[in-house]
Amino acid sequence: MAFRGQHDHSLDSKDRITVPSGYRAALADGVVLMKGVEQCVEVWPRAAAEAMEAAWLSPLNPMGADTRKIHRLKFASSDEVELDSAGRIRVNRKLIDHAGLGGPSVVAGVGDHLEIWSADAWAAEDGEIQSQSEELTERLAALPPAGQGPS
């Protein structure tokens, strides 16, 4: 399932956020929350998180300082949670603080996972993306297709 769209939500008094109903089935087998590189919380279906880790993190040389740092970023801050009966997930305080959550929030679909942003941080990020969309498209179009190196 591809996660798409933007949905306005807020954390409740118990630090839970409602997952948009169309995404709940994809998250029914468990959820992994991770600190995003940007000021957001990544929401992964458990199996997709494991696939991402196997494809992108496991192949890195564990002896390298950069690998150790990225592993700490992704694993030390992550949390495995379950959807409750009302379709909510509880976000831990460290992730809430990282993303600046507390007021209005945006749950954004980004393909293989969701991201939770504060509404203000999302507005800034979305504005930056929109202002750079033509340049981003041109830079990415110049890259070889995935799985193919330079000819």
What are the residues facing 81 on neighbouring strands?
31
Q: What's the pLDDT score for residue 122?
A: 98
Mean pLDDT of the chain: 92
Considering the domain 6-141 in this protein, what is its CATH number? Answer: 3.40.1550.20
pLDDT value of position 150: 54
Ordered by start, the domain boundaries in the chain are 6-141
Sheet holding 6-10, edge to edge: 6-10, 104-109, 114-118, 41-45, 31-35, 79-81
User: What is the distance between the alpha carbons of residues 120 and 105, in angstroms, rounded to a whole number?
Assistant: 8
Confidence (pLDDT) at 147: 66
Q: What is the pLDDT of residues 10-49, one digit of tens each?
A: 999 999 999 999 999 999 999 999 999 999 999 999 999 9
CA distance 74 to 67: 11
Residue ranges of the chain whose pLDDT lies below 70: 147-151
| Contact by Cβ (8 Å): 114, 42 | yes
